Structure 1
Amino acid sequence: MYRWSQLFTLLLAAIVGCSDKPDVTTHDAPQSSPKTAVISMQSIEDAPVLTDDGLKTFEQKHSVQLPKNYRDFLLSSNGAFPSPNCVTFEEDERITASDVFCFFAIGDERPGLSLDWHYDTFKDRIPKSTVPIGRDSSGNLWLLSLRSDDAGSIFFWDHGSYDTFDETDLSNWPKVAPSFHEFQQSLIAYDATLETDGVPSRYSLVKQATEGIAKRDPGFSTRANPGFVWHCDCDDEGKVSMQFVKYEVHAVTTHTCGYTRLRAINGLIKEGHTRLPE
């Protein structure tokens, strides 16, 4: 386990650029490689076993009916760390990428891994008729739609956007897959050739930050520390720094993160009012 006194004080600064190729590999920061059809799921240690009755209780409590392919996944593997874990999708009229840090578990009491905790914490911010099924390493959510017109589809939801649009409107967020099964099958190993437009993907920034710590502590990985998350800061010149902070505090605070500012500085989106902390 990483020494938190050192971790809190560590600030990894990276001038964002596609030519930076770290030379340290960790299991949750894979090196560039081609797409693979083999998806493995590492069980979440100490996650509770989910029964059909337990799943029905969750559905009844929240008045939802989950799609069969997602229900089957939860019953066979109540949450998981996928490998590979990279998702590519369109945002700002460009292809970008982030990761699936984990698929959430029902009944888990750890905030960073719990579907229940995310559902209750974000219910007033995420679009109606959606369920948060997982997160990336920066605390952004993967949402499962239960709306009649796109039921079962998966969307990307950025927790740190500007306060210039309605974040509860699902049409404002990128649709990344038409079903949970296809979302799983779309996971690929990260490909560095994606980084061609001058603005690094979220995946790239987390990868560089993770490998930066791993150079000092070869045993470090974000997966081994699910109670922490990568927070992105960006200064007025577009210089990015990544901080490894407590997940629960980071997630519950409404704010505009540095990645949104980075996109604005580079002209991908218009700069706007900051979402104020709650």
Structure 2
Amino acid sequence: MSYSFIPNTIRYASNGYIRDLEEKIPSKLPKEYVSFLVKRGVGILDGSYDIQGTDLEIHNFLTFPENQRDTLSLDFYIGAFSNRVPSDCIPIAYDSGGNVFCIGLKGENRGAVYYCDREFEYDEEDETEETRAQKFTKVSNSFSDFLSRLEKYTV
């Protein structure tokens, strides 16, 4: 499967931005995701994409902030969703309903992509594996697998 961005919307992450982001979260980003941000770049998708094998769709990837008011940036979403996603994940994309896809940062979940319903609050102290599974759906074991399963939505 493939995906494409609207021409002239693609921006590439600098090594400085990656370093600053890793200090902010604080964790190292999975290498596959860093490669995507630095080498492939992020732009506005040329439509919505279904994720094969699920009933989910992705509307867009989160970008890099152009200014402090950029509400579609990684930085904004990391802050806005801090009480809705576990500390071992960060938002990387969203669907048309405002729900987010997150990437795991640590342990056995590192690099895995999850779907997170934005309606749920997250409390790490009261969380169990059962309640976490209700709020977060594992979409893929790796970022590259996630990308390979994107298929442009057609009517």
TM > 0.5 between the two? yes
Partner amino acid, structure 1, of 2:51: V
Question: Any residues of structure 2 matched to 1:110-121 within 5 Å, and which?
Answer: 110-111=70-71, 113-121=72-80
Where 1:119 maps in the other structure, the secondary structure is helix
Corresponding position of 1:102: 60
Pick one of 78, 86, 106 that aligns with 2:50. 86
Where 2:28 maps in the other structure, the secondary structure is coil
Q: TM-score, normalised by structure 1?
A: 0.46
The CA deviation at 1:108 is 3.5
**Alpha carbons 1:125, 1:167 under 8 Å: kept:** no
Corresponding position of 2:110: 151
1:45-73 alpha-carbon deviations (Å, 9 max, x no partner): 3x765211221111112211111111011
Pick one of 129, 133, 137 that aligns with 1:171. 133
Q: 1:49 to 1:147 in 2, by over 3 A?
A: closer
Pick one of 52, 60, 63 that aligns with 2:15. 52
Q: TM-score, normalised by structure 2?
A: 0.79
**Alpha carbons 1:59, 1:65 under 8 Å: kept:** yes
Where 1:40 maps in the other structure, the secondary structure is coil
Q: 1:41 to 1:124 in 2, by over 3 A?
A: same
Partner amino acid, structure 2, of 1:131: I
Give the gaps of 5 or more residues in structure 1.
1-36, 90-94, 193-278
Q: 1:100 to 1:167 in 2, by over 3 A?
A: farther
Where 2:103 maps in the other structure, the secondary structure is strand
Q: How many residues align structurally? A: 147
For 1:54 and 1:67, the matched residues in 2 are separated by: 15
Give the gaps of 5 or more residues in structure 2.
none
Corresponding position of 1:126: 85
Q: Which has the larger radius of gyration?
A: 1
For 1:59 and 1:117, the matched residues in 2 are separated by: 15
For 1:131 and 1:43, the matched residues in 2 are separated by: 26
Corresponding position of 1:140: 99
Q: 1:105 to 1:162 in 2, by over 3 A?
A: closer
Percent identical across equivalent pairs? 22
**Alpha carbons 2:11, 2:42 under 8 Å: kept:** no
For 2:18 and 2:7, the matched residues in 1 are separated by: 18
Partner amino acid, structure 2, of 1:39: Y
Partner amino acid, structure 1, of 2:58: V
